[in-house]
Amino acid sequence: MALPDIINHQDFLLTIHTNDEKLIKNALPGVHIYPLMLDSENGVWVLRVLFEPGTVLPKHFHTGVVHLYTLAGSWHYTEYPDDLQVAGSYLFEPGGSIHQFQVPADNTEVTDTFMVVMGSNINFDPDGNYMNIMDAGWIEQVMLAAAKEQGIEPNYIKPKVYTVLVSNFNP
């Protein structure tokens, strides 16, 4: 078999060096992010997220899978307090899971994570009432607003939106 033709030509590698980027602080309270790739068309968000000690996210339902790797610090789900995720932990979350992310208040360092999320989080308040949907588009809006407020122009990968033009279409 011969080497296939290039389908998507690249003039350069699509790389984000988070050590060279400015951290977007408090995109949500206690949640600081480096956006890596936000693809609202395919429902995929890839982020490096730093969580302050004591940060608790809303209880949420995942419509797709999540890959979450902990680089530093620790966290757990409120529903699984004894299953602490620490530096070096990789967690796979299947779609349909429901839980609440929590960083222990007594952590002595910021919890640093890398995540690949497919689909959305449907968030609920403490009484179980619907709050909002967090997906790649929502994350991008919140992140861009926080970045603008901080005078940051974030670099991240955003796949092109493709438009199919059909000429001479006769049904």
pLDDT digits (tens, 9 = 90+) for 15-68: 999 999 999 999 999 999 999 999 999 999 999 999 999 999 999 999 999 999
With CA atoms as reference, report the closest residue to 30 among 122, 88, 101: 101
Angle at 133 between CA 54 and CA 56, to 5 degrees: 5
The edge-to-edge listing of strands for the beta sheet with 121-124 is 98-99, 59-62, 121-124, 130-134
Residues 6+ apart with CB under 8 A from 34: 16, 18, 21, 23, 24, 47, 48, 49
Helix H or strand E encompassing 133: strand 130-134
pLDDT digits (tens, 9 = 90+) for 105-162: 999 999 999 999 999 999 999 999 999 999 999 999 999 999 999 999 999 999 876 5
Q: pLDDT confidence of 12, banded at 50, 70, 90? A: confident
Compute φ and ψ for 82, nearest 5 degrees.
-90, -5
pLDDT digits (tens, 9 = 90+) for 75-121: 999 999 999 999 999 999 999 999 999 999 999 999 999 999 999 99
Q: pLDDT confidence of 7, banded at 50, 70, 90? A: confident
* Cα(152)–Cα(145) distance, integer angstroms: 10
What pLDDT does residue 37 have? 95
The answer, as to whether pTM is greater than 0.85, is: yes
* Cα(148)–Cα(5) distance, integer angstroms: 41
